Amino acid sequence: MGWPDRRFADLVGVEHPIVQAPMTHSCSPALAAAVSDAGALGSMGMAFKSAERRAGDIAAAARLTNRAVNLNFFANRAAVEGPGRPDAARAAAAPAYAALGLGAPPEALPAEGLAATGDGFGAAELALLLAVRPRVASFHFGLPDRDAVAALKAAGIRLGATATTTAEARAVEEAGCDFVVAQGFEAGGHRGAHAPTAADGGVGTLALVPQIADAVTLPVVAAGGIADGRGIAAAFALGAAGVQLGTAFLRCPEAATDAPRRARLAAATDSDTIVTAAVSGRSNRIAAGPGLRALAAGAPACLPFPTQYALSGPLRAAGGADYAAHQYGQAAALARELPARELVAALAAEALDRLAWLGRA
């Protein structure tokens, strides 16, 4: 038995409709290339990277594979993020600063990597995509403006965007994208909502995927809590035409996963993460150290994304494991320490076997 829905696989030109999620700090060119060479779709996150770093990563991946690699960008809009509450945010963080001997929180709070008053996807990002012309590009936190989408589509680039609700999925379709990533509450890292949401405001993958599949005509790529063939088969049973896995690839040797997070992943459970905006200003699923958990539990006022990084950064730098923020999802205990090529083969074989079994049941 083959894949029951090949719309996404054929759209992006892959054998297996499996996408390696584009987590900016872990999806190295080596990982993306290995996944693509294995017949799935490798990805690289472009957010928080300089122009030089972006160009270097793209060139490195191209040297390693001649297959498609998805380039992912944040598309947050400054107007949606809101003005923030600097005084309240500083007051919430002040006890932690004092306990670590850092003095008072900074008065000036510049953004880290992205301008707090600017959009995540602008002229420079559009120019890069039009120059490189990858087969696939995708967006998190919303969508570029309509002119940018039209220019990218005219260049022959297949476009996708994250949706965390059916309303967002309809917006993705109306914008002219080619596929939608239905991201459930279980997913690690930042929730890709088009506007900031409360930490407990997500919809689970099991409920989200079939509703989005009913709401749009686009191929739906399921994400969140999927880390083995059983989860992949379940997503297809719910109406997905593809799956996106992030946490499942974090233990691959090709991933740029740092040693502390690898250690956490090796001992991960289904309940050792929290969702908080205390790190970045956006809801973000992380395995947090006790100090960061305490800060998050105090429901601190947060600055807009990504300016909150400038407030949490000194705490994470000085606080060590107490203020660690390891991004991964609720299915982390299912992640395997395998080379990416072997992992893709195992995931595809497990999923196809399970789909065949379901077909016989």
pLDDT, tens only, 309-335: 999 999 999 999 999 999 999 999 999
Residues 34-44 pLDDT 10s:
999 999 999 99
In this predicted structure, the answer to whether residue 222 has a pLDDT above a threshold of 50 is yes
For the chain, what is the mean pLDDT? 94
- Rounded to an integer, the average pLDDT of 210-214 is 98
Element (H, E) at 223: strand 220-223
Collapsing DSSP to helix, strand or coil, 221 comes out as strand
Mean pLDDT of 11-15: 98
Question: Average pLDDT, stretch 13-27?
Answer: 93
Output phi, psi for 98, to 5 deg: -65, -40
Q: What single DSSP character describes residue 303?
A: P
Residue 113: predicted pLDDT: 47
pLDDT > 60? residue 114:
no
How far is 163 from 181, CA to CA, in rounded Å? Answer: 6
Alpha helices in the chain (DSSP H): 7-12, 29-37, 51-64, 78-81, 86-99, 123-132, 146-154, 166-175, 205-215, 229-237, 259-266, 290-297, 308-319, 340-360
CA dihedral of residues 194, 200, 205, 210 (deg, nearest 10): -70
Q: Which residues contact 52 (CB under 8 A, 6 or more apart)?
A: none
Mean pLDDT, to the nearest integer, of 239-252?
98
Residue 115 confidence (pLDDT) above 50: no
pLDDT at residue 299, as a whole number:
66
pLDDT digits (tens, 9 = 90+) for 44-81: 999 989 999 999 999 999 999 999 999 999 999 887 88
